[in-house]
Amino acid sequence: MAYLLAIDQGTTSSRVTLYTERGEPLGSAGRPLTQHFPQPGWVEHDPEEIWLGVVECLREVLGAASLSLAEVAGIGITNQRETTVLWERSTGRPLHRAIVWQDRRTASRTAALREAGHEALVRKKTGLLLDPYFSASKLGWLLDELPGVRERALRGEICFGTVDSWLIYRLTGGRSLVTDLSNASRTLLFNIQTLSWDDELLELFGVPRSLLPEVLPSTACFGCTDPALFGAEVPITGVAGDQQAALFGQGCHQPGLAKVTYGTGAFVVLNCGTCSEPGDGVLTTIAWQLPGEPVCYALEGSIFIAGAAVQWLVEGLGLLKSPSEVEALARSVPDSGGVYFVPALSGLGTPYWDPQARGVIAGLTRGSSAGHLARAALEAIAFQTVDAIRAMERSSGLVLRELRADGGAAANNLLLELQADFLNAPVLRPRSTEGTSLGAALLAGIGAGVVDPARAGADWEMDREFRPQLAQRERERLYRGWGRAVRLSLGWEEEAG
Ligand SMILES: Nc1ncnc2c1ncn2[C@@H]1O[C@H](COP(=O)(O)OP(=O)(O)O)[C@@H](O)[C@H]1O
Ligand SMILES: O=P(O)(O)OC[C@H](O)CO
């Protein structure tokens, strides 16, 4: 039997899981990650905490299985995407906290580029939009705001990477500055047609080429672990951004298949095969590239706040002790009683792309209760997912026949019932809702030569199917109300300012 290790570095936690080459999980360990909010709209992580959490998880998982790293055939890495890390090449020391994908501090930078008429070029080359979500404007901010860093970058003393690159740099003892195609495709600096960093985009965002990692296909050798750290040189043989890894792990290997992952945000990704046409209001992104195959592209709907809306009920309002309690509270009422919660706490993504949008709770009456708000939070996750899917369907001409759902909040049956109702299509929950981690393990297995690419994903098994129950008129009435509430949230920050 061959062993594979998957590192899943997410927004709220880091997890490491040990798998067999058949994708069976043998054990896992996790560590939460501190969220720093230094100013309204800013979100940061400590790169050292990310690193230490991953190392602790690796040690814990191997220890529990009484395995040494040398017995592992390959390591897979999957990560929160776009989050931007800058570090010193010689020491590996971070120069600042990581600027997280949710961070809106660079909204004025991307707005200025849009007003200057650069959006069409950016869309054509990257498949993305001018939004602070992506790495480029965050990197520009760091280069401008940290004293002396731009000059040092020009001298080749500084490295930029998304979290995959950061972890690989540390795991390999500073020998590999690399990333994969899927993570590179989220930076706004990478041309998804030519598959290379793009000089015109680098100039637009003021980014020197000397900072950038080398970009490799999904199952390349990304480097080997530093024996001084772990006592063994084990290859890192699979890397993908977490949403692309989830698409792979969920067995969506054919064009037309789609998944949603409900974590901090929710991300709907539709396999588009070799079609790389830019979408309208949705993103075109690189899913993966397997050995001897062309690049596989995907359409994506990105929802910034999904499970985080529930987290806000816990931490912001103290309404619940933990997210797992939200289902019981939401089920304590038969419907949301006309209450809508638009959780635009970090602006809105697909299809609105409005960094100035802010959260709104609408439709309150004297009869409104905590149960109604809890239910409205779950409905909001489902409504946002419908918004994203309708935009993807308009863009691609495809109609989604079913949706596979995973991620932390997919444990919530009510959420998946609401999703099937609002989407008017079946929602399938797999036996393993850890599609992200499984996807990374399978990619690593392919790279290590212990998983047959044609078999990867063939073992996908369903746990439960949620079928739509809601009458068409009711669905349309509720969706109209959602549209009205969203309109209240749009541009809020601008008008308030
Ligand atoms: N039963 C639940 N119902 C709704 N949301 C939940 C539930 N359990 C966890 N969540 C939410 O899911 C998110 C964690 O999921 P996870 O997949 O670990 O996220 P990430 O990968 O973004 O760190 C949190 O935002 C949490 O609030
Ligand atoms: O860490 P997650 O699962 O919330 O995913 C974050 C996304 O990769 C951001 O694009």
Is any atom of ligand 1 closer than 6 Å to the C-beta of 11?
Answer: yes
Could you give the 3-state DSSP secondary structure of residue 237? strand
150 Cα–ligand 2 center, Å: 28
Residue nearest to atom 6 of ligand 2 (CA): 80
pLDDT given for residue 416 in this prediction: 98
Q: What is the pLDDT of residue 200?
A: 96
Tally of CB atoms within 10 A around 176: 20
Total of domains in the chain: 1
The amino acid that residue 197 corresponds to is W
Domain-located, residue 340: no
Is 412 within any annotated ligand binding site? Answer: yes
Distance CA 81, CA 133 (A): 10
262: CB partners within 8 A, 6+ apart: 306, 307, 381, 405, 406, 407, 408, 409, 410, 412, 415
Q: Which atom of ligand 1 is nearest to the CA of 308?
A: 25
* Per-residue pLDDT, 398: 81
Would residue 119 count as lying in a domain?
yes
Tens-digit pLDDT profile for residues 263-279: 989 999 999 888 888 77
Is 233 within the bounds of a domain? yes
Q: Does residue 204 fall inside a structural domain?
A: yes
* 82 marked ligand binding residue: yes
CA of 409 to the centre of ligand 1 (A): 4
Closest listed ligand to the CA of 100: 2
- Burial 92-107, CB ≥16 within 10 A → b, else e: eebbbbbbbbbbbbbb
Tokens of 136: 């480029």
Ligand 1 binding pocket mutation candidate from 15, 81, 310 (most atoms within 8 A of CB):
310
Alpha-carbon distance of 323 to 337, in angstroms, equals 21
12 annotated among ligand-binding-site residues:
yes
**CATH number of the domain where residue 200 is located:** 3.30.420.40
How many whole angstroms separate alpha carbon 180 and alpha carbon 165? 9
CB of 263 within 6 A of ligand 1: the answer is yes
Q: Looking at ligand 1, which residue's alpha carbon is closest to its atom 11?
A: 307
pLDDT at 360: 97
Cβ of residue 263 lying under 6 Å from some atom of ligand 2: yes
Q: How far is the CA of 320 from the centre of ligand 1 (A)?
A: 14
Contact (Cβ atoms closer than 8 angstroms) between residue 188 and residue 128: yes
133 is in an annotated binding site: yes
Q: How far is the CA of 204 from the centre of ligand 1 (A)?
A: 36
> Which DSSP letter does residue 317 get?
T
DSSP H helices, 21-134, are: 47-64, 107-115, 119-126
| CA 10–ligand 2 middle distance (angstroms) | 6
What pLDDT score was predicted for residue 254? Answer: 87
Q: 82 and 133 in contact (C-beta within 8 Å)?
A: yes
Is there an atom of ligand 1 within 6 Å of 53 CB? no
Residues of the chain short of pLDDT 70, as ranges, are 495-497
Residue 335 lies in a domain: no
Exposed/middle/buried for residue 265 (C-beta within 10 Å: 0-12, 13-18, 19+)? buried
Output the pLDDT for position 434: 82
CA 244 from centre of chain: 8
| Number of C-beta neighbours around residue 163 at 10 A | 33
Residue 104 counted as domain residue: yes
Q: Residue 171 and residue 168: Cα distance in Å, rounded?
A: 5
Atom of ligand 1 nearest to the CA of 33: 23
Considering the domain boundaries, does residue 229 fall inside one? yes
Q: Would you say 406 is a known binding-site residue? A: no
Q: Within a domain: residue 191?
A: yes
Residue nearest to atom 10 of ligand 1 (CA): 409
- Are 84 and 96 a contacting pair, CB within 8 Å? no
Contact between 219 and 447 under an 8 Å Cβ cutoff? The reply is: yes
ipTM of the complex: 0.97
Determine the structural domain holding residue 143 and report its residue range: 3-243
Q: Are strands 178-180 and 25-32 parallel, antiparallel or unpaired?
A: unpaired
Per-residue pLDDT at 194: 96
Give Dmax over CA atoms of the chain in angstroms. 64
Report the alpha-carbon distance of residue 378 to residue 385 in Å, rounded.
11
Question: Which ligand neighbours the alpha carbon of 410 most closely?
Answer: 1
